[in-house]
Structure 1
Amino acid sequence: MARSGVRGEGARPRVRQADDLGWDDSLYDENGDPTDGGGASGGRGGGATSEDSGSTSRDTGRDGRPVDKGGDDASAEPRGQGRHGGGGGRRRGGGNGGHPRRRRRVLRWSASVLAVLILGTAGAGYLYYQHLSANIKKDDLNLGDEKDRAAKSKANAAGQTPLNILLIGSDARDTKENQALGGAKETFGGTPLADVQMLLHLSADRSNMSVISMPRDTLLKMPKCTDPDTKKVYPATVGLVMTNTSLGRGGPGCTVATWEKLTKIHIDHFIKIDFSGVVSMADAIGGVPVCVDANIYSKDSQGHGSGLKLKKGTTPVKGAQALAWLRTRYGFEDNTDIGRTKAQHQYMNSMVRQLRKNATISNPGKLRSLAETATNALTVDKGLGSPLKLYDLGNELKKVEPKRITMTTMPWQWAVSDSNRVEPKPVEAEQLFRLVREDVALDGKDKKKTATAVKASTDPAAADDQIGVTVQNGTRTATLGPVGGRARTVSQLLVGKGFTKAEADSSAATVEETTVIRYPSADLQGDAQAVAKALGVPLSAVKKSTDVSGVTLVVGADWREGTAYKAKAQDNTTPESADVLNGAKADACMHVNKDYTWS
């Protein structure tokens, strides 16, 4: 039987209504706004307080977050149906708990992050909080081998650490609602695809946010992944496969592992959402304004297209129409996935701006029903597996103004093996990944950062004539071929400096923008640094990597000639091919393909 896209779901008990779980409708009028009797200021009205009853309960703190009053930590996973958190856990206490406050200052990013707002502001009592927590599906963060994991992000001088979150849009047809929205009846219950993949990087100082989208048609190699439920092992791929198939290799944790393997960026969390989740989130904010430069109808005589039909100009889209916008390929630009990615960026930026000026979802009555939909739509890693943790994430995200949000697409080129697919563009894709790894703002508005000196290894190096060094030719660029014999020239240079075990690798030349020295384990770090010092290569170019078995020097495109290495000034500009879109650009408009217009 084909594997469902929503993992770990079994039969659920009857969904209890909010008034069963601590929500008191008497505190709100017919529009959902607080009555004079309480709620608006966060106080509790009606019924005995936990102090009166002596029970353990959950109250609401001054910042609107649920806080403990002698009970269990609310972020703990409910007990019941295993690691996915389904089923109700043991409930404690009989008090009403805290009631929601009205919150007017709102910012959340994307359909999945909008749920952060809903969850954080809908805390209608501890029991209801537990109910919402049980709704959230949880999965393992990374299904790859530990050796393939990217190094954790380093803290800045102030001790602050960047945050990297992978947003995944699944095309799973695993429910009647998702099937109706996604179409293709024959795919019901089939292996899901990660058709939307966006890496959200929140800077260490929380001043800016960068987003990298990977087109779903990208070809790459995938790492080994192990399904945590069935223990099935998916071997690392030998050839190139489409990136969206990673979700079917054990779950979203394999998509995370694939990103880490490609980008060397450590991913802290993931959030996955399905078709119905996108629709409910768009409805929640009353529509997202989008723009097209001509009338569009995304449907042709062969049945291609999402069915999106809009007039020229700006239109607020919601519900199924919002989903159609995000899925439209035929009708935008050249009918490729690249145009669809641009449309998704426009939508996300518009949603951020809409949320900042829109207070409709501070209405508790609307939040009550919406919270049920939102929590059922999400799958997250265990580190985000409670409403409180999602709320905390939302508070971090809202610190960034739209003008400091930069949307990009991974630099790409048409794949050599398949002209209908794309692959990461050498040098430029790595440049974008490096900027994110090093927490450099993609909008170029960073304050000057003081370079952190690289510490010398505490493990002493072996004698020069005892250090084995493999030298590879990485001088090929996107426009220039490799310099013949370059690996041999530099290996002989090393031999002349006393590194008599240095040898040139005769295999095909690789692509490396800058010269780098890699080593596999801590006991060889000192040896690698000794090689760098002998050649005048900066210690910052010495990197730990599980891709090598010994000290490996890759002569990069920055050292195509000569025997003296001269490090060039580091370029921290975002590649033009990343197709940057600033979050504050309100006049962005999608170009409509002339074959999909109407009058």
Structure 2
Amino acid sequence: MSHSVVREDEKRPEGVAEAEGNGGGSRHGRRRARPRRKHRVLRWSATTLAVLILGTAGAGYLYYQHLNGNLGKGERSSGDSKAKKAAPNAAGQTPLNILLIGSDSRNSDENVKLGGSKDNRGNPPLADVQMLIHLSADRESAAVVSIPRDTRVDIPKCTDPKSGQVYPATNDIINTTLARGGAGCTLATWQNLTGVYIDHWMTIDFAGVVRMADAVGGVEVCVNQNVHDRPLPGVPGGSGLKMKAGRKEIKGKQALQWLRTRHAFYSDLGRAKAQHMYMNSMIRTLKSQNVFTDGGRLMDLAEAATKSLTVSEEIGSVKKLYDLGMQLKSVPTDRITMTTMPNTEDSQDRNHLVPEPAGAAKMWQMLRDDVPFDDKGSSSKKKTAEKASKDPAAADDQIAVTVQNATRSSTLGPADGRARAVTDVLLGKGFARAGADATAGLSEERTVVRYPSAELEGDAQRIAKSLGIPLSSVKRSTDVSGVTLVVGSDWREGTTYPKQSDPKAGDLPKNSDELNGADSSKCMDVYKPYQW
């Protein structure tokens, strides 16, 4: 079943298939109609899918309930975050963002056996693998962004949904977020870092990876040298991965070892690359097997997935996961791009990383604006003419505006004096009621002018226009009581707002380490101490 056939059939009105070819009543016409009925079956709910697999309505319903019972569920967001959903494109479509989290939990015999480190049993789990899956609004492309586990970021105030414990905002490495309020805290941290609204999260632990790898079957990976990721003098740990140079299909425990290997692949950055290689290979494998039309294979995957995954509650049913899978399945492999967040060494601790300011900001903008990571498409977010408010602005000297300094980022501290400097610019332009807010520690990726109600939109737009800030950066918000100019990290110096250039499709930062989903030629280099 090809992607193009499904899409054309979904758009075809009833009866069109029978009318094509040699005529609706001919033998050929009837044959052409069969795929249409088959594809329609695949769009049924997961309940009907279970009926199809097991052959009886009663057994199908019971099996569907069984799968639902397997799924663990949790709160979507448990931290302070103000990220907003992207506006629909011209066709009314919006992007879909899913955060995939790999937990190092050792709170079961199975996980201790697979992950070692018995001394860590009972400790809060860490989010050692974090990937954001971005499905474009038009569902034609997908991007995956990994953030290495030892990346230092701002973590917001989070509340554990199970215990009610409140964790204050802090600045720490990103893998600690899972222990500070669960996956919902990891999601909120990502939202604040990127400005991207994340619709769902999914978590999986060691045992879950093994179950899923066995259900998927062999996935081909490649190393350029013999590899054995094992403890060395002065370097404890190691995944245990041992394989000879060349290509090999791996599954089960060996797949987990591949995904956990970092010393032999030089670093966490190498581990991310190996994970991307595995994911791409797995996607190609599943597509070639066409599992969505193979009832037995689909049943095995459904059983493994529901036992292995914990998901945010709004997708906590088999039907919703099935529908989600069908959306992801529609993307061609050559329109999938795996990347790692541009990063640099942390000046506070050379063992940690921080986002590389320019590269990371560009990547986050591409996600927010739904710009494809490959060069085979164009942004689905069409530029629209900026509309002036119907409510006229007050006289300049009567517009009250508060200026805030939100130039702080995970990488850089606040640019001192920005609120005062921009306030002075406004005063010099005749905005006599402009005032600086002394609140410290605010962080905003891009400069924005916020206003609380419709009658102040004209005033907010007047402030933006006077400083050269685009009207698209004027936002209505219940978080402010009056017109508020928030000076973001994109305006750390100077009195003139810097012009912003929009990234183009495929124009990724050079340090993104991208890998195309159709590229099966890549092979991992092995750090010499781990060769054998």
TM tier, shorter chain?
A: 0.7 to 0.9
Counterparts in 2 of 1:494 and 1:591: CA distance versus 1, 3 Å: same
Alpha-carbon distance in 2 for matches of 1:324, 1:349 = 17
Superposition deviation, residue 385 in structure 1: 1.2
Greater displacement, 166-175 / 395-404: 166-175
Instruction: List runs of 5+ in structure 2 lacking aligned partners.
Output: 1-33
In structure 1, the partner of 2:84 is 151
Aligned to 1:322: 255
The 5 A counterparts of 1:270-419 are: 270-302=201-233, 303-332=236-265, 334=266, 336-359=267-290, 364-365=295-296, 368=299, 371-419=302-350
- Residue 99 of structure 1 is matched in structure 2 by 52
- Does residue 175 (structure 1) correspond to residue 108 (structure 2)? The answer is yes
1:193-592 alignment to 2 at 5 Å? 193-237=126-170, 240-302=171-233, 303-332=236-265, 334=266, 336-359=267-290, 364-365=295-296, 368=299, 371-447=302-378, 450-457=382-389, 461-465=393-397, 466-470=399-403, 490-502=422-434, 516-519=447-450, 521-522=452-453, 525-543=457-475, 551-552=484-485, 554=487, 567=499, 569-572=501-504, 573-592=507-526
Give, in angstroms, the shift of residue 61 of structure 1: 9.4
Contact kept? 1:224, 1:234, Cα under 8 Å: yes
Give TM-score, length-normalised by structure 2: 0.81
User: Post-superposition shift, 1:228?
Assistant: 2.4
Deviation string, structure 1 residues 125-160 (Cα, Å, up to 9, x no partner): 111111111111111111124xx2311121100011
Partner SS for 2:354: strand
Q: Which one has a larger percent helix, Structure 1 or Structure 2? A: 2
Partner Cα distance (1:473, 1:62) in 2: 51
Cα deviation, residue 168, structure 1:
0.9
Mark the CA change 1:229 to 1:566 in structure 2 (over 3 Å): closer, same or farther.
Answer: closer
Of the three residues 41, 52, 55, the one matched with 1:63 is 41
Q: How far did 1:585 drift?
A: 1.1
Deviation at 1:62, TM superposition (A): 4.0
SS of the aligned residue for 2:373 comes to: coil
Contact 1:136 1:375 in 2 (8 A): yes
Cα distance, 1:207–1:472 mapped onto 2, change above 3 Å: same
Instruction: Give runs of aligned pairs for residues 102-181 of structure 1, distance below 5 A.
Output: 125-145=60-80, 148-181=81-114
Question: Structure 2 counterpart of 1:353, which letter?
Answer: R
Q: Partner letter of residue 98 of structure 1?
A: V
Name the CA distance, whole Å, in 2 between partners of 1:257 and 1:559.
25
Unaligned runs of 5+ residues in structure 1 are 1-40, 43-59, 69-73, 76-95, 103-121
Task: Normalising by structure 1, report the TM-score.
Answer: 0.73
Q: Cα distance, 1:364 vs. partner?
A: 4.3
Offset at residue 530 of structure 1 (A) = 1.3
Post-superposition Cα deviations, 1:245-291, rounded to whole Å, max 9, x if no partner, equal 11122321111111112111111111111111211221223211111
Supply the distance in 2 between the matched residues of 1:510 and 1:384 (Cα, whole angstroms). Answer: 33
Does the aligned pair in 1 maintain the 2:405–2:419 contact within 8 Å? yes
CA gap 1:529/1:97 in 2 versus in 1, 3 angstroms = closer
Conserved 8 A contact 1:471-1:502: no
Could you tell me which amino acid in structure 1 is paired with residue 192 of structure 2?
K
Structure 2 residue matching 1:98: 3-state secondary structure: helix
Alignment partners' CA distance in 2, 1:560 and 1:189: 48
- 1:445 to partner: Cα distance: 2.8
Contact 1:427 1:512 in 2 (8 A): no
* Number of matched pairs: 486
On the 8 A contact 2:404/2:438 being kept in 1, the answer is no
The whole-number CA distance in structure 1 between the counterparts of 2:106 and 2:443 is 40
Q: Is the 8 A contact 2:452 2:479 kept in 1?
A: no
Tell me the C-alpha RMSD between the 2 structures.
3.6
Residues 129 and 354 (structure 1), Cα distance of their counterparts in 2 relative to 1, 3 Å cut = same
CA distance in 2, matches of 1:577, 1:209: 19
